[in-house]
Every structure is written in structure tokens, then in C-alpha cells.
Structure 1
Amino acid sequence: MVTLTVNGRTHRVDADPATPLLYVLRDDLQLNGAKFGCGLGQCGSCTVLVDGRAVFSCVTPVLLLEGRAVTTIEGLGTAENPGPLQRAFIEEQAAQCGYCIAGMVMRAQGLLQSKPNPTDAEIREHMKTNLCRCGTHMRILKAVRRAAGSVQTAEAPSGREERR
């Protein structure tokens, strides 16, 4: 049994500790936003956040995730109430086929949580590991720019701002 915290909820999953997170998300938790693309951590369609950092879930074994916070695209918002970054992707019509888009959004979310107002060069550098075969890169860039600065913050007990 493996205990995972995904989108703020704790789950006990009967999975081999070497099982890639992607399979547990899709098969056990019914969270299908992250997609299987290459299975080698080369395309980014499976990207999720672990403790706020973008990781390829297809090559991340669940044994490394106990005690860590996993966030998937489903944890950012819903179709009825999309999160700020999801809304920006919709407004910029950044999705074409939709296969890479969840991974793109999650990689961008990680960037904006750590750097709310990145430059175009920083966005491009951060996003370059995720591939889009439809060619909507410029719209993706515009969506990330649009969302910059709109990532929610909360006052941490220490008095410093903490990104969510």
C-alpha cells in the first residue's frame, strides 16, 4: 500500500512502489488529465506538480511521493470554474487537439507559482521540455503571459507570502 496526497486529498493505493505515478493517477484514482505520451519523460503530456515543481508522472515511481503533495490538472479548477491559468488557456484558445495541454498547463502553473511575472525568455525556457505537435506554442506563450500575476497567494503564518 502506498499513501499519496493528490489535489489535497489523501489516498491509500494498492500499487507496487515502482509503479509510475501516471498509472496510479489514471487507473486507481480516475484522474485522467495527465496523458500517456511517450512513457519516457520526453514529451511532457504526463506533467503534474510535486511539491509545486513540474515532474513527468510517467517516469516518477509512487514510492518517491509519500509525504509529498501531488497536484494534477483536476486540482486547478473545473470546466465550470477553471483556475486562472486554465481560464487564460481558454481565452487565448491555446488548446488544439488537447493532448499536451494538461501537461502544458501544469508546467506553466509550476513556473507561475515560483515566478509570478516571468519574462518571455523565462517562459520559453521553462516550457521547452513539453512538446506540442499542433503548433500552438505562440498561443501557449500568450496564455502564460495573460495568467502571470494572477496566481493566488495567501499570507503564511511567518508573515511572508506563500504561493499556492
Structure 2
Amino acid sequence: MNTTDALEAFAQTWTGDLTYDVAPSLSCHEVDTLATLLRALGYTAAADAWITEHSRTDDEGDAHYVTPAAVLREHLSATSDRTPWVELREEEPDAFGAGHIVLYAGDRHRFAITEQCDRPSDDPDRDVVGREWQTAERASGEGWTITATGHADTEHVRDLLTATAGWMRAVRP
């Protein structure tokens, strides 16, 4: 096997599902080195996926640390981009009554996520301490009926993403 074939075989092996299992356990330097090699081989999306998956477990102060809110928005945006029956909207619960982030499956199903803060909404020093979610359905021409609810604190965004994924499977046309 020549060098080009070996590098291509490497890239094929180190893309896909392996990313989600291994990236969180790598150091920032290790994932950067792998991402640099994948980019050099033309696998830019795979390189970005390695950095993204690694960043989900970085601590504040680490090179790839992102806030839980950024992780949530990025994941939901990417998921809705890959899921044609789901539309992601950012809304205002006081105006629309659903949540800050709302996923719609047509006009009959929604998954609404509302930020919960440690202080009133008009306090500029408030911090998000968790998120409440609810799923709802409606029959044509009727109001929304809540079908499930839940809560995830800021450290357990993964629980919220799991609930979202289950909802998307359930409403898939």
C-alpha cells in the first residue's frame, strides 16, 4: 500500500461514528492534530465534527470549551438541517407562548424549550440555570395540547438532546 492509499484508508476509518465515541476522550492537542490531518486530506466536515464532539466535554478554560447554550443551539440547528420534516425557530415565550427554541413538525407537533433563569427576565445579570421542555400536539384548527414535559439543568444538556431526538423519531412522517 502506498502513502496516498494509506492516508485515504486512515481518513475513511477516522470519520463517521467513531468520532462520537472517541472525540470526547481526546485532549485538545490530540483532536487538533487529528483535525489538521483530516482537513489536509480534504475531510473538512469530518475534522469539524471531531472538534465539535470533543468540545462537548471540554471544561471552561479548555481550548474548545463552548457554553451549554451554544452546544444546544448548534446541535438543534444541525439536527433540523438534516431532518427535513422539522423546522427550528427561535421565539419569545411571552409573545408566542411556546419557548425560546421551538422545533415544529408541520403544524401539528412542536417541541418547545424554555430557558429557566436564576433571576427575573428583566435582570441583566441573570444566568440560565436550566431548561424546561414540552411537547405538544394539536388537531387541525384547535389549540395546542401538551403531551409531555421535562427539565434539564445546564450541566445535563445531553438529556434534553435525548428527549428531542425521541420526539423527532415519534413525529417522523
The two structures have a TM-score, normalised by structure 1, of 0.25
- Tell which has more relative contact order, 1 or 2 (C-alpha 8 A, sep 6+): 1
Larger radius of gyration between Structure 1 and Structure 2 = 2
Structure 1 or 2: more strand by fraction: 2
Normalized per residue, the structure richer in helix is 2
TM-score (norm 2): 0.24
